[in-house]
Amino acid sequence: MGHGKLKKFAENETFRCLLQPDASSVLAKPEGSRELVLRDHAIKGNWNRDMFEKPQPIVLELGCGKGDYTIALARRHPEMNFIGVDIKGARLWKGAKEATEEKMGNVAFLRTRIEFIDAFFGPGEVSEIWLTFSDPQLRGSENARLTSPLFLQRYRRFLKPDGIVHLKTDSRFLYEYTQSVIRANNLEVLASGTDIYHDGIRTGVTLENRRFATPPIKDGPLPLMRPRVATGFQESPLPEKDEWDIDSIFEVQTFYETMFLKMGLPITYLAFRLEHEGEGFAYPTDFDAAYWREAEGPRRSFSHQPTKQ
């Protein structure tokens, strides 16, 4: 291990905003059992009390990397608390250091495996989840995809009723898979777009309520226009205080997102709500993994290795 990583790991221990629990704090082996089971961490249900300056709605970014998206959202929304989650301590160092130096009281980071996520958050503790450029698991297990029914069930345990899940990705495979999961479970779609920087984002779920957010103007720092009804419908701007900051979908970008855009990769976006009734989510039967895997071709992104043919 390089001296740079060792230095970051040592500095991570000094950041109050960074929680780095040992696996033993969330895994236990019941007496007489050979299997490890997940148990609740002490922070569960207590994030607003123990980690933030004041109690506010909590937003998670899962797989946050260096935390640039988490930090940017927190700057835009001081009225909300943000938590970036990742397993890589060397990555989290950057976001934790920035939040510490800027004395951002509405930012925290959690170093853990996302598979353990519901050991850290209590029922209704989280208002929104962001999945930014997650590994699409082109040839991996379906259950490893962060929008699989298995993960949605985990999220449901701690999302408040009507909580929102955001998916922003360069992977059309993951986008279409998630759409199939949504259809299989009749979930409410709030917004969608398959190439948001060229075509914008459609919001609303009925024909009468379809609205569009315009992508940012490429040249110059002009502000975005407010989303408006599509041509042919009565024009009606979205309220200034919408359910989420739709402008941030365009204006806040991860490091990798800027690289993907330079490479000409279209960026997709989905926002949907989870149904809170029931014991589990159904798996999709209409997703053609082979087709979308072939359509996506070799991965050209920086976050994943090219798929071997």
Q: What is the pLDDT of residues 29-56, one digit of tens each?
A: 888 787 888 999 999 999 999 999 999 9
Q: What tens digit of pLDDT does each residue of 135-161 get?
A: 999 989 999 999 999 999 999 999 999
Dihedral, CA atoms, 61, 245, 190, 146, nearest 10 degrees? -10
Query: Poorest-confidence range of 42-56, 170-184, 241-255?
Result: 241-255
- Whole-angstrom distance, CA of residue 3 vs CA of residue 166: 37
| Catalytic site residue from 135, 195, 242, 245 | 135
- Residues near 115 by beta carbon (within 8 Å), at least 6 away in sequence: none
Smallest CA-to-CA distance from 134 within 156, 117, 122, 119 is with 117
Token pair 């059309």 is found at 172
Give pTM, 2 decimals.
0.85
The reply to whether 30 falls in a domain is no
Residue 29 lies in a domain: no
Q: For residue 97, is pLDDT > 70? A: yes
Select the more confidently predicted residue: 11 or 60: 60
In a domain, 240, yes or no: yes
**pLDDT confidence of 256, banded at 50, 70, 90?**
confident
Residue 255 lies in a domain: yes
Split into its structural domains, the chain has a count of 1
CATH of the domain at 113: 3.40.50.150
Q: Which of 78-82, 109-113, 120-124, 248-252 has the lowest mean pLDDT?
A: 248-252
Q: Is the pLDDT of residue 222 over 60?
A: no
Residue 267 is assigned to a structural domain of this protein: yes
- Answer with the residue of higher pLDDT: 104 or 278: 104
Cα–Cα distance for residue pair 309/305, rounded to 1 Å: 12
Residue 28 lies in a domain: no
Residue 10's φ and ψ, nearest 5 degrees, are -65, -40
135 assigned to active site = yes
What residue numbers bound the domain in which 202 lies?
A: 3-20+36-296
130: Cα separation from own chain's centroid: 2
Determine contact, residues 155/188, Cβ cutoff 8 Å: no
Residue 182 is assigned to a structural domain of this protein: yes
| Mean pLDDT on 83-108 | 96
Q: What integer is the mean pLDDT of 188-214?
A: 72
User: What was the pLDDT predicted at 242?
Assistant: 46
Percent residues over pLDDT 70 in the chain: 82
In a domain, residue 289? The reply is yes
Query: In one letter, which amino acid is 51?
Result: M
Question: What pLDDT, in 10s, does the model give residues 183-199?
Answer: 999 999 988 999 999 98
